[in-house]
Amino acid sequence: MSDDQRGHRTFLSVACILVLLSSAASHALAQDDAKAPAASSGKSTKEKWRPKDGFYGTRDKDDTLGFCREADGVSVVLAKKRIVGYEWSCDITKVTDTETDAIRLDLSCDNYNLAEALKLPEDHEFREIMLLKRIDEMTISAQRTTNGKFGQRWQASYCPGEQQRLAAGEKPTPWIPRDGAYASLGADFDDRCLKAPDAIIDFARKSISGANECDIYSYNDALMIAPHMTLVCNDTHSKKGLVQRTIDGGIMFGPPGFEVLNLSRIDDNTISLQKTHNGQSSQPANNVSYCGDEAQRHYVEQQAGK
């Protein structure tokens, strides 16, 4: 073999080795690229905040059910591009994210009272702005313009279920206490429930027995939004006659010698009872709670034996 042939073969061998090394390096780089995380586009993947659709307002601290005051309530319905407050309503024309967990709503509003005050047609369209910001999962802060001028910022909480249903147009839920045995809470609660409950409520038989005994002559219908009843008690078991009495400073009608029992809901299991004596609520209210299953079975057996 000549020197030229040997040189040519050596050149080919070196070239093949370089090609193989280049191919191996390219394969390794491709594997590394596959393992490496995708380059960031610079855009955040965090979902944009939107308030939960529903009725928001300021909770009344004196209301044990935690209902919101109607006057400063607002219904936010982004799904229908609507927001409604006390005596005003708006179509949402634009939603803009202003910062993390905050949005601006451009609004087209009807406000009859404002239009009347400004001597404008009652169907005048007001262009307003509302700013909403997340405080926590159930609370927002809000600020709205009126005739283009921002008012004070206020904080509003997502209201209880009954108010959500009412705001959505459903009928209010009627309320009546559960029939059964009740006793005031304490260390011997279960024992007293079985042996000497403080109250046995039986609306079906128009009777409340115990410390606030009452043969129910009449009572007002109550709703879950305002669960309070005023019961007229026929304590004398009168069969006829209707008299007028002054009860706690107000005029009421009932059978001769009647008294009044005020009954209010505290929570799912607890009610407040306060009965008048000689027309006055002079004694403190008595809070009683619904007894356990054993006491209720005992009560049902007693009723069946009568």
Q: What is the pLDDT of residue 184?
A: 94
Tokens 């410390």, residue? 211
Q: What is the pLDDT of residue 249?
A: 87
Q: What is the pLDDT of residue 79?
A: 93
Q: What is the pLDDT of residue 192?
A: 93
What is the C-alpha to C-alpha distance for residues 200 and 306, in angstroms, rounded to an integer?
Answer: 14
Q: What is the pLDDT of residue 226?
A: 84
DSSP code, position 203: G
For 207, phi and psi rounded to 5 degrees? -140, 140
pTM: 0.61
Contact 145, 153 (CB under 8 A): no
In whole angstroms, how far apart are CA 35 and each of 29, 39, 138? 10, 12, 42
Q: What is the pLDDT of residue 27?
A: 46
Looking from the CA of 26 toward its CB, the CA atoms found within 13 Å total 6
Identity at 168, one-letter amino acid code: A
DSSP code, position 225: T
Q: What is the pLDDT of residue 28?
A: 45
One-character DSSP codes across 185-234: -STTHHHHHHH--SEEEEGGGTEEEETT-EEEEEE--EETTB-EEEEEE-
Mean pLDDT per segment of 10 residues, for the chain of length 306 residues? Answer: 46 38 43 46 67 89 68 89 93 95 97 94 95 94 95 92 87 93 93 93 93 93 91 92 91 94 94 93 92 92 76
Q: What is the pLDDT of residue 193?
A: 95
